[in-house]
Structure 1
Amino acid sequence: MKLKKVLATGLSLLMAMGTIAGCGVSTDTGVNTNASSESGVAAAEKTDQKEESTTKTDGDVEEITWMFWDDMEATEDLITLGYKDVIDRFNKDYEGVYHCNVITTNLEEYYTKLNALVASNQTPDVFIVSPGPNLTDYVEPGVAADLTDYLHEDGWYDTFNGGVFDKQTYDGKIYAVPTNLAAACVFYNTEMFADAGVDVPETYDDLLAACETLQSKGYTPITISAGTAWCLSMLCGYLCDRENADLDAIAAGNASWLDQPFQDAANKMLELSKYFQPTAAGDTNDVATANFYNGEAAILIQGSWAIAQINGSNPDFEEKCGVFQFPAIEGGNDPNRIIAKTDSLAMSSTTEHPDACIALMKYFTDETAQKYTAEIGGKIPVTNVDIDYDKAPKQLKYVMDIFAKATGTFGFYNESLASTEAGSTFDDAMVSIYLGNNSVEDGLQIIEDFYKENVWNK
């Protein structure tokens, strides 16, 4: 299927569902940071912040900052390297006029650090953000600037594919600009599957059988991170959706977190967990992903942003890296629903250099950057750019095939619930169930109690 047709299909679904949510690139995804738990200098002191791309500039140069969740000087992630190229091109082309300094921190602490800077009146001029409750946290208090007029004044808006601004829009005003699109998928080692005589699973029962066979052949079936809670949450989100969990009813207070779909999903997570690597409880996302591309496990459940990390860290692995959509559950919800998300950019409402900020954002969405996104990074571009499909990582075709079959999308649970705090509560509850610190019922009761106190009675 042609790339533009797939884009039209995928993005129209995002419009229809209205539930796309954002995440990161180094590992990416939904971020479990308990962002609201700390603020100000105290939070800043706990976070390892690094400023990069800093050079002495003429006093007349307008200097801006951009905050990101990966170390651009020490990464092998191809999307991050593409972002580094954006900054380098911007600084070169605008030499003597504008200059962008990059503030980086690790993914897990990103929102804690960003909130600390906001609280201390040091909001970065431009910062990456996830659409959904995370973006809402910066729109409602007036931290993020309205970008609507900037997008429309010179036709910039018209370069984007339809639907990408739906979850960046509040009361008809656009507050963030997307840079790419990704889907949560199941990556697998084709050589291990072939050696074990395992076919790509189409159902949950097939997945269990495949894991059992892989394990009997001496392979670790699944690598996942519970140390980075959103990774386990991604799996649980798929299981909840396949079990017909109704988030709209939850949001309205017409359903309970103790309802059967959530209990069945949590029990299936526990059933799958016996096939996780032994160190899953403490492994970070980066470690779990490295287990996969280093040939230490057969399956990785992750967002398609992982293509950039996999191929950047181990280019030879691309040839044996397959991708399939999360399997169906018999008698469950539509199996062609997928988790989808964008990375997005917001501008500080207090920046003294809005023109420089907009110029930088346009570099992230120009033809050079968007072609790189697909042809090198393996993510789906958000603008009407012509892609040389033959240059793109082969995993991108698998992801596009998944989008082509998709009948609907939904966001990461930790970025689709009533608030960022609700998302963190869900993440933490899933980890506590996995670790055995809570039973399924007790873990779900924690989420239920949060909603009773903070959502349903508000």
Structure 2
Amino acid sequence: MKKFTVCLLIGAMAASMLTGCGSNGGSSDSSDSKADSSSETMTIMMNGSDSDAFMEGYRKIVDGFNESNEYGVKVEIQNITNADYKTKLTTMMASDSEPDIIFTWPLGYLENFVNGDKVVSIQKYLDEDEDWKNSFNGGILDPLTYDGEVYAIPTQQSTAIMYYNKAIFDKYGLEVPTTYDEYVQICDTLKENGVTPVALASTADDAWLVSQYIQQLSDGIKGEDLFNSLKDGTGKWNDEGMVEAGKLFQEEVNKGYFEDGFTGVSREEAQLQFANGQTAMYFNGCWEISNLDKKENAAEAENISCFLMPAVNEEYAGVEVGSVDTSYAITKNCKNVDAAVALLKY
């Protein structure tokens, strides 16, 4: 679950078009390589199936590293689907059979492996390479830092966004909302014309999307201070800002802003409804770009654009649900940490 709130410019989404999260189907596969058969093998476990659009970019990176690295290392990709990833990795960690490099989420998830002495500190490698260390945006390594030590390297920043169908907006004379009131007016106009405003997934595996939507409402009600207070334990979940966010969401549900039976709709189903023009908007994250850009899955891909959800209180505009994303940690099982660090740099 991505729950680290940061202020991000929408232009930063372009950096994440190569990658994504939330996977369809599953397989285990290894990247082809021109490395010599006598090369040392190093495995990297990724959260996604081999057929996911973003994996093509990772395969190119791994193949390039295999051809050019000075360590005589051949990297192999192990694909695990999003639904199975946490269970698989926990089982492997418990039996000391984890791969050399693992995909990880930040904050509390990675902290468990840090406390269990399962992952390697990357701090000294960052300190030894100032150019690499300074190449990251300010604060980006903080959610991957414990007791002053960095334990994983992110490959992107992500933010939750609202996708919209430009053709449907144009048909009803709608423009991208800049305030929450304008957003409500758009939803009301769409409902009046028989159009479902928003596709939102909410099955057990995808309930984090509803959490993000409500968190986005609360960010726009009381800002980042509310989130930080909940994170550090000084705030309470029945804070008036959270209560107001819950009430606003319930009002939206009662007005029919979301697809029928949305509590039983999966992420894949919600995505397909939007991609096929059955809803005017779709709440998810910039990690969905590669999936929506698949022409075979998105009949109206050329009509898709996006905007950041406007704040309920304008003073908190720009406080968005976001995260460092697609981070990788080196496990204590890795016998060639220098090579693993070189791959993360590459």
> In 2, are the aligned partners of 1:27 and 1:286 still within 8 Å (CA)?
no
2:337 to 307, 332, 354: 354
Q: Which amino acid aligns with 2:243?
A: Q
Deviations 1:24-53 (A, max 9, x none): 82348xxxxxxxxxxxxxxxxxx9662433
- Could you tell me how far apart the structure 2 residues matched to 1:10 and 1:251 are? 19
Cα gap change, 1:300 to 1:350, in 2 (>3 Å): same
Q: Which amino acid aligns with 1:321?
A: I
Deviations 1:189-229 (A, max 9, x none): 11101112222223333222211211232322101110111
Q: Which residue of 2 aligns with 1:259?
A: 239
Q: Which residue of 2 aligns with 1:144?
A: 119
Q: Which residue of 2 aligns with 1:168?
A: 144
Q: Which residue of 1 aligns with 2:164?
A: 188
Cα gap change, 1:86 to 1:123, in 2 (>3 Å): same
Deviations 1:386-420 (A, max 9, x none): xxxxxxxxxxxxxxxxxxxxxxxxxxxxxxxxxxx
Cα gap change, 1:250 to 1:341, in 2 (>3 Å): closer
**Which deviates more from structure 2 when the two are superposed, residues 104-113 or residues 315-324?**
315-324
Cα gap change, 1:152 to 1:326, in 2 (>3 Å): same
Cα gap change, 1:95 to 1:52, in 2 (>3 Å): farther
Q: CA deviation at 1:60?
A: 3.6
Cα gap change, 1:208 to 1:158, in 2 (>3 Å): closer
Q: Could you tell me the TM-score, scaled by structure 1's length?
A: 0.64
Q: Could you tell me the TM-score, scaled by structure 2's length?
A: 0.82
> In 2, are the aligned partners of 1:310 and 1:317 still within 8 Å (CA)?
no
Structure 2, unaligned runs of 5 or more: 1-6, 10-18
Q: Which residue of 2 aligns with 1:326?
A: 309
Cα gap change, 1:220 to 1:10, in 2 (>3 Å): closer
Q: Which residue of 1 aligns with 2:4?
A: none
Q: CA deviation at 1:146?
A: 0.6
Deviations 1:58-103 (A, max 9, x none): 664211111111112x22x2x3321121122223335992112222
Q: CA deviation at 1:177?
A: 0.9
Q: CA deviation at 1:293?
A: 2.1
Q: Which residue of 2 aligns with 1:66?
A: 44
Q: Which amino acid aligns with 1:142?
A: D
- Could you tell me how far apart the structure 2 residues matched to 1:175 and 1:262 are? 32
Q: Which residue of 2 aligns with 1:303?
A: 285
- Could you tell me how far apart the structure 1 residues matched to 2:238 and 2:330 are? 40
> In 2, are the aligned partners of 1:193 and 1:199 still within 8 Å (CA)?
yes
> In 2, are the aligned partners of 1:62 and 1:353 still within 8 Å (CA)?
no
The answer to whether the aligner puts 1:233 opposite 2:211 as a matched pair is yes
> In 2, are the aligned partners of 1:68 and 1:102 still within 8 Å (CA)?
yes
> In 2, are the aligned partners of 1:222 and 1:277 still within 8 Å (CA)?
yes
> In 2, are the aligned partners of 1:187 and 1:324 still within 8 Å (CA)?
yes
Q: Which residue of 1 aligns with 2:294?
A: 312
Q: CA RMSD, aligned part only?
A: 2.9
> In 2, are the aligned partners of 1:311 and 1:317 still within 8 Å (CA)?
no
Deviations 1:263-313 (A, max 9, x none): 221122222232211242232223222222222211112211222221234
Deviations 1:107-151 (A, max 9, x none): 133222211111111112111112211221221211121111222
- Could you tell me how far apart the structure 2 residues matched to 1:157 and 1:194 are? 45
Q: Which residue of 2 aligns with 1:80?
A: 55
2:96 to 97, 121, 131: 121
After superposition, where does 1:31-430 map in structure 2 within 5 Å? 50-53=28-31, 60-72=38-50, 74-75=51-52, 77=53, 79-94=54-69, 97-154=72-129, 155-227=131-203, 228-244=206-222, 246-251=226-231, 254-273=234-253, 274-313=256-295, 317-330=300-313, 334-343=316-325, 344-363=327-346
After superposition, where does 1:430-445 map in structure 2 within 5 Å? none
Cα gap change, 1:86 to 1:55, in 2 (>3 Å): closer
Q: Secondary structure at the match of 1:322?
A: strand
Structure 1, unaligned runs of 5 or more: 1-8, 12-23, 29-46, 364-458
- Could you tell me how far apart the structure 2 residues matched to 1:161 and 1:254 are? 28
Structure with more strand by fraction: 2
- Could you tell me how far apart the structure 2 residues matched to 1:84 and 1:49 are? 15
> In 1, are the aligned partners of 2:35 and 2:66 still within 8 Å (CA)?
no
Q: Which residue of 2 aligns with 1:25?
A: 20
Q: Percent identity, please.
A: 29
Cα gap change, 1:174 to 1:251, in 2 (>3 Å): closer
- Could you tell me how far apart the structure 2 residues matched to 1:255 and 1:178 are? 28
Deviations 1:152-186 (A, max 9, x none): 33443233333322222222211111111122111
Cα gap change, 1:162 to 1:96, in 2 (>3 Å): closer
